[in-house]
Amino acid sequence: PQTSAPQKSVVVIGGTGRIGTAVATHLLQRDRTLKVAMAGRDAERGLAAVEEVTRESGQPCAWIPLDYRDLDACREAVALTTAVVHVAGPFTGPNKLAPLEAAIAEKVPIYVDVSDPIEYLDEAKAMSPEAEASGTAALLCAGAFPGFSNVLAMEAAAALGAPVEDLAFNYFTAGLGGSGTVNLDITNYGFGPPVARYVDGAPAKTEDYAGADLGEVEYFFPGGDGGLAAACWAWPFPEAATVAEELGISGTSRAGMGTRAEWRWVSIGPGVSR
């Protein structure tokens, strides 16, 4: 007799946050046969997230309690699932790799995260042999920047058809969809250490770089009134190093962010600001 395929399922770690609920809603809207569980530490936020996603997607979903830094709890949460989507930043600190380790240990076919710290990426990539042996396809840095930005840079370089000398990522944001506080917190982790990028064709770590004034950038918006000019500030995004390495650039790379309302000062310690 013909048997039906097992139901596909996804666990969204960090599912109670703004990005997590957006991911869960998108998945359920694309595939109405999908089973989605959002995982997080706060039960009240979890129930609110379930209500929001169910309302927006028109499909049922679930919430499961999880401290994503607890490897055993992660393994229990992701066991037998089809995919894990990890959006609970900031991807630093003790046991930061627990969700990836759990996905590999439980032989989850697909793992995706929105990480960005260079140290996290290096440690995660070192687990490639274990992931391959378990049959886990792991995609790191799958957000907007880094993520889509990396793909766009590689496509642009391919279209040039010539070696790339300099590389600049100049981002602009007028809002973060309600996740501003979390994003600011995550970004601030990158202001202390030296920033990884390329200088004169070689990898470098630049001291006192994050938050530096990169000058004014002309931003263009297709379909709009043309664009605007805004101040751009150096930001600790990893693509200034990772894409530069992939392309083998001969010059200098940078990544920066312009904002509206204009961002100027962020306190990063007693008597210190950038």
pLDDT given for residue 70 in this prediction: 97
pLDDT given for residue 207 in this prediction: 85
- Considering the chain, what percentage of its residues have pLDDT values greater than 70? 84
CA–CA distance, 72 with 270 (Å, rounded to integer): 38
Which pLDDT tens digit goes with each residue over 19-42?
899 999 999 999 999 999 999 999
pLDDT given for residue 194 in this prediction: 84
Q: Is residue 221 scored above 90 in pLDDT? A: no
Which pLDDT tens digit goes with each residue over 79-104?
999 999 999 988 988 999 999 999 99
Name which of 71, 53, 70 is nearest 62 in CA terms: 53
Residue 110, classified by CB atoms within 10 Å of its CB into exposed (0-12), middle (13-18) or buried (19+), is middle
Residue 44, number of CB atoms within 10 A of its CB: 8
CA–CA distance, 21 with 27 (Å, rounded to integer): 10
Mean pLDDT value across residues 170-189: 65
CA–CA distance, 149 with 155 (Å, rounded to integer): 10
Which pLDDT tens digit goes with each residue over 124-140?
999 999 999 999 999 99
pLDDT given for residue 270 in this prediction: 41
| Ranges of H-type helices in the chain | 18-30, 43-57, 71-78, 98-105, 118-125, 128-134, 148-160, 180-188, 239-247
Mean pLDDT value across residues 179-195: 65
Across the chain, which distance is largest between two alpha carbons, in Å?
73
- Amino acid 44 reads E
Q: Is residue 261 scored above 80 in pLDDT? A: no
Which pLDDT tens digit goes with each residue over 62-78?
999 999 999 999 999 99
Mean pLDDT value across residues 105-126: 94
- Could you tell me the end-to-end alpha-carbon distance of the chain, in angstroms, rounded to an integer? 67
pTM of the predicted protein model: 0.85
The three-state DSSP-derived secondary structure of 234-268 is ECCCCHHHHHHHHHCCCCCEEEEEEECCCCCCCEE
pLDDT given for residue 273 in this prediction: 39
Residues 78-109 as b/e (b if ≥16 CB within 10 A, e otherwise) read: beebbbbbbbbbbbeeeebbbbbbbbbbbebe
Structure confidence at residue 208 as a pLDDT band (50, 70, 90)? confident
Structure confidence at residue 212 as a pLDDT band (50, 70, 90)? confident
Q: Could you tell me which residues are beta bridge partners of residue 190?
A: none
The answer to whether 210 and 117 have CB atoms below 8 angstroms apart is: no
